[in-house]
Amino acid sequence: MNNTFNPSEVFEDASKAAIINRIQQLVPPGSPEPQNPQILATLQTLTAQLIWAYQADGQLESEPFSDVRDRTINLYSLACSNKIKGKTILITGGEGCVGSFLIEKLLSLGATNIISVDKARCQNPDENLPHFNKEGAVNFYAADIRNLQALKHIFEVEKPHIVFHLAAQRQPGLAEIQIRETVTTSLLGCKNVIQLSEEYGVEDCIFSSTGKTSRYFTTEIYAASKKFAEWQFAKAAQEGKVTYGMVRFTHMLENSLFCEQMSKKVQQSKTVNVHAPHRYVTAQNLIEAVHLLLNSLVVSVPGKLKIVAVSNLGWPTETLEVALYKIQESGKNLPIYFQGLLPGYEEPFFLGQFDWNKPTDIHLLINVLEDPFRKIDQAGDMVILELAPFSLCMLDKQVSNLEKLISDRNFPEVQIKPALVAAEKEVIASSFAWSSAAELLKILQWGVNPKKLQGYGTEVADYSEIIQLLLQGMYGRLNQEVLNCAGVNADEFDRLVESLSAVDSLQAEVGYLRSVSKCIRQSALPAQFTQKKSEPVPVREAA
């Protein structure tokens, strides 16, 4: 690529926003890959101009994820080694990227008997076994965690002391296609691992989850099914004899589909497609991931589900910047275009997930309702938290209903998603009912802040379902005291109500809010507005 490119020779406005706008005008998001030679030539020029604009801002000088690749997390090596010494350790998904590296690390810490359970071996039985440092220290089984009898046979033969449950769907996009497999893996697979861990006297069971579950509500199959997995482990931690722990991962660089696909496009394609501009990802490396899993053994306690994650994720990385860097690095004059968001990646981020009174403390893998339980480990590398309370009875009911549906092969796969989302809403509603009305009001106010929404290119209607859940959680509980506790005055409350009034699906809730506003203005709120709803059974005792 010609590094002496001068944008003023082509287009007068060389700002990033103007260039991106020109690209989207040429190829509107959702359009097929451009084939017209004139359009491709213009896209090439615009892409080169965009690279120059990024360079002018001091970007693209180094690989965008370079800071992430060099990070590490303190490993409590002695404590971990003492924990695993002489123990049989079972790993589901043991032949995956994280699972394989975990096995290597366990062997280096002195593990002598490791069991790998992976369905990949069912699909590729003749594939060569991974090479590990100690011959005979690792036994490989071909089994799908959804198959209770196959998994039970392994537990019966091996009798593990420690379980790392890593097996899962890892692609959000593929989850929207393989719906039944994804949901059954999260629901039935987790249920089987928990049941057998309890039945065979496992001491510790560590589950790997995703930062996407920190969303209060999601319609994405990948994240919603993982939320149910987290809830099941939280319930098991409270009711069972096993000590359970959990890790929330974010984008894994060494296992990154995005980076793999982007590199392939740059090497093999004539064009490079990016989902959309202004899309960002947080990332971590494989060493961090495995150290989190092992440290989880140390910080987990009986009776509670302790969750660990990277404490400092650094600044999110723009996916467009990654694409431009790879094009620049290749030396090719390749054009980019924005294909539009795909299922599994199109959900807008709800800003009420963060406490905007404390912007410097924002953590992308934690929401406001989980934040009160946040702690940092002694080394400062890990954040430790717990799930917000929810109704165990409601979870049992929804999981039971879902199991009946997804286990019925005659139940249409296309109907699993709405059933999953409906069940998710019920459990979330139980969590919001446990939360204080003031907390919910603050979350709502942060989430529909007009200036912030405008900056993110979204509007209130994009969040109608989570807003409705929040409003239902506040119904019958709002009064002047709640507004005072939330730091919301009468004028701010009225502006909030007006911003919601434009959404047709929220009109019933808006009517209630206007009644509350009127009564607050009159300083005489009737009793029916202050009557509290009954509290659900919590995950833990109230602090």
* 459-479 pLDDT, tens digit each: 999 999 999 999 999 999 999
Q: How confident is the model at residue 55 (pLDDT cuts 50, 70, 90)?
A: very high
- The whole-number average pLDDT for the span 385-401 is 97
Q: Tokens in use for 211?
A: 């930062």
The pLDDT score that the predictor gives to residue 2 is: 43
Number of neighbours of residue 134 by Cβ within 10 angstroms = 11
The pLDDT score that the predictor gives to residue 456 is: 80
Distance of alpha carbon 192 from its chain centroid, rounded?
23
Rounded-to-integer distance, Cα 219 and Cα 367, Å: 17
Q: Which range, of 275-279, 293-297, 507-511, averages the lowest pLDDT?
A: 275-279
Rounded-to-integer distance, Cα 483 and Cα 477, Å: 11
- The whole-number average pLDDT for the span 86-95 is 95
Contact residues for 62 (Cβ-Cβ < 8 A; gap 6+): none
pLDDT at 7 over 50: no
Residue type, 294: L
The pLDDT score that the predictor gives to residue 14 is: 77
Q: Are 391 and 430 in contact (CB under 8 A)?
A: yes
Rounded-to-integer distance, Cα 421 and Cα 360, Å: 32
The pLDDT score that the predictor gives to residue 452 is: 86
Q: Tokens in use for 192?
A: 């089987």
444 closest CA partner among 487, 476, 479, 480: 487
Q: Which is it for strands 382-385 and 317-318: parallel, antiparallel or unpaired?
A: unpaired
The pLDDT score that the predictor gives to residue 27 is: 94
Rounded-to-integer distance, Cα 384 and Cα 373, Å: 8
Q: Which is it for strands 306-310 and 382-385: parallel, antiparallel or unpaired?
A: antiparallel
- The whole-number average pLDDT for the span 143-158 is 96
Q: Are 110 and 80 in contact (CB under 8 A)?
A: no
> Ranked by mean pLDDT, which of 149-163, 277-291, 504-518 comes out on top?
149-163
Q: How confident is the model at residue 434 (pLDDT cuts 50, 70, 90)?
A: very high
Q: How confident is the model at residue 541 (pLDDT cuts 50, 70, 90)?
A: very low
Distance of alpha carbon 48 from its chain centroid, rounded?
34
Q: Are 354 and 446 in contact (CB under 8 A)?
A: yes
- The whole-number average pLDDT for the span 19-25 is 94
> Which secondary-structure segment (H or E) carries 517?
helix 507-521
Q: How confident is the model at residue 425 (pLDDT cuts 50, 70, 90)?
A: very high
Rounded-to-integer distance, Cα 434 and Cα 533, Å: 9
pLDDT at 9 over 50: no
- The whole-number average pLDDT for the span 231-245 is 98
The pLDDT score that the predictor gives to residue 11 is: 53
* pTM reported for the whole predicted model: 0.90
Rounded-to-integer distance, Cα 406 and Cα 408, Å: 5
The pLDDT score that the predictor gives to residue 221 is: 96
Q: Which range, of 188-192, 337-341, 527-531, averages the lowest pLDDT?
A: 527-531
The pLDDT score that the predictor gives to residue 404 is: 94
Rounded-to-integer distance, Cα 149 and Cα 251, Å: 33
pLDDT at 67 over 50: yes
pLDDT at 380 over 80: yes
Q: Which is it for strands 113-118 and 138-142: parallel, antiparallel or unpaired?
A: parallel
The pLDDT score that the predictor gives to residue 121 is: 63
The pLDDT score that the predictor gives to residue 358 is: 85
Contact residues for 198 (Cβ-Cβ < 8 A; gap 6+): 236, 240, 241, 242
pLDDT at 531 over 80: no
- The whole-number average pLDDT for the span 191-215 is 97
The pLDDT score that the predictor gives to residue 340 is: 86
Number of neighbours of residue 258 by Cβ within 10 angstroms = 17
Q: How far is CA 212 from CA 250, 288, 383, in A?
A: 8, 18, 16
CA-derived radius of gyration, the chain: 25
Question: If you average pLDDT over every residue of the chain, what do you get?
Answer: 89
The pLDDT score that the predictor gives to residue 306 is: 97
Q: Which range, of 10-14, 52-56, 298-302, 328-332, averages the lowest pLDDT?
A: 10-14
Between 14 and 319, name the one with better pLDDT: 319
The pLDDT score that the predictor gives to residue 468 is: 96
